[in-house]
Amino acid sequence: MSNFPWLTVSGAIPLVGTLAVCLTPGRSAPGSDADRRSRDLLVKRIALVFTLITLGVTIAMAVAFKPGGPRFQFTQVYQWIPQFGVHYAVGADGIALVLILMTTVLMPVVILASWNDAEGSASPAGEAPPKRSVKTYFALLLVLETMMIGVFAATDVFLFYVFFEAMLIPMYFMIGSYGVGQRQYAAVKFLLYSLLGGLLMLVAVIALYVISAQSAVLHHQGSFLFTDLSRVVLDPTAQKWLFLGFFVAFAIKAPLWPFHTWLPDAATAAQPGAAVLLVGVLDKVGTFGMIRYCLDLFPSASHYFTPLVIALAVIGILYAAIVAIGQADLKRLIAYTSVSHFGLITLGIFAMTSQGQVGATLYMVNHGFATGALFLIAGFMIARRRSQQIADYGGVQKVAPVLAGLFLIAGLAGLAMPGLSTFVSEFLVLIGTFTRYEVAAALATVGIILAAIYILWMYQRTMTGPVREDVAAMPDLRARELWAVGPLIALVIVLGVYPKPVIDMINPAVHKTLVQAHSTDPVPPHPATVVLDTAAAHKNGSKP
């Protein structure tokens, strides 16, 4: 099975599902309301089945992956536009593989949780539900899954750019057509920010191709293949400009402070399932791009800009955490917590240590599951109460104890409670950062204290205290909702106790990234050296 096109098949299955969904009769087909409901149910079941098949294929791919083997496995390279050196090239290292797995785990969960989203179940009271069809909504979800798998699997920079931009289209419509509140404003803002970043990256991609065509290493033949471009020696000045073109695009996508302002609006307006994919997967493309492209292709520029990036990351951690404390909207608060977490992920990447980068990659996965669970449970609450305002809740744990208990676990994962998955990744990020940047690590640690404030205060205001009149009749989680959020909570606990299988996948890829970026872990002083230095200091009459 080593030659089996795992990545192509994984990306093609959701597209086949999209076709199957599109071939079902639409709402305009003749029939009663019962017939229309039956057709909508068929669409949902088709989408769920195809996402489960995709998950099964990616699990089989992960089993076939050899951590000690070549860096990129399951590779396929075919000429696409030979005149410009563009290839359909895919492959997965450990970093890409765990992110593809995270994506395919989240998709069936989102389908289950979004069962009634297209009908406007989470729309605020008094607001008319969206007019779009159920079929269109679930077709967009399946197309988006293909794009997300493709962007992590691409090993041709031009192909990566195509997927990077194509992801915007389904998400734009999911926010603008199916969202709530100021959905059109949020969708346009999301699109404009992303297109600006994409335009800068396109300029850098074209410049990179032109430079590669002038390189003797590639025999003066331009290429977009990642493996070819990583061998091209770039002028230091050119590296800096190209790095900025890629980095700004990734910083907007991530989003890193101060490029973050689109995310709270988009996540607040999106339906909960769409918000999970936006924050849990699409934003990870930004941090994935930093570790894959910025560090590998522009190593000297990465070192040059590291102090600036570290400063932005620390500011983002503290700023977003402080702003989250004062939020009155439930989904907006969770969105700001993610901005803070992405600061930690970026900090781990640019610490240029193995612990920091392993922790950052693991954090991407763990954040997807923990914040995904938090968004989904918040969505279940909003669908019941028809309000996103924290002040409209209170005493929920007395009427819906299962909902409140799972919300607490997801919240504790958000503040990196020991025993839950995010603790391991956050600990690795801070340890890896401290070995090089003690002040930055110390400031980032303050974010943990702030996280405890905004998570626990949110839980206290919504779940404890006297039961509000509008909450008294709130039902607990139903079977479908438990099937949606249960796997995420289970993964949060399991990866908190035993993260070794994921870390073993990530480690070799991180090691090769550090080698390519000309970076090594700081070597701690040998005990004998410390003793000699101390003795010499005492002999000279100075303090050691």
Six-digit token string for 143: 């197309």
CA quadruple 508, 513, 518, 523: dihedral sign: negative
> Quick one: pLDDT at residue 532?
47
pLDDT, residue 329, reads 85
β partners of residue 389: 329
Nearest to 45 by CA among 138, 148, 173, 121: 138
Q: Measured at the alpha carbon of residue 166, what is the angle toward residues 164 and 167, in degrees to the nearest 5?
A: 70
Residues 405, 407, 408, 410, Cα dihedral to 10°: 130
User: Are the C-beta atoms of residues 381 and 330 closer than 8 Å to each other?
Assistant: yes
Q: For residue 22, what pLDDT is reported?
A: 85
- The whole-number pLDDT of residue 2 equals 57
CA angle 437, 439, 440 (to 5 degrees): 65
pLDDT at 99: 93
Residues of the chain below pLDDT 70 = 1-2, 26-33, 35, 119-132, 216-220, 524-544
- Closest of 512, 521, 491 to residue 428, by C-alpha: 521
- What's residue 176's pLDDT? 83
Q: Check residue 87 and give its pLDDT.
A: 85
Provide the whole-model pTM. Answer: 0.87
Residue pair 332/270 in contact (Cβ under 8 Å)? The answer is: no
Residues 6+ apart with CB under 8 A from 143: 14, 15, 18, 170
Looking at residue 221, its pLDDT comes to 75
pLDDT of amino acid 32? 64
- H-only helix segments in 270-329: 272-277, 284-289, 295-297, 299-325
Burial 294-304 (b: 16+ CB within 10 A, else e): bbbbbbebbee
Q: Is 234 left (phi over 0), alpha (psi -120 to 50) or beta?
A: beta
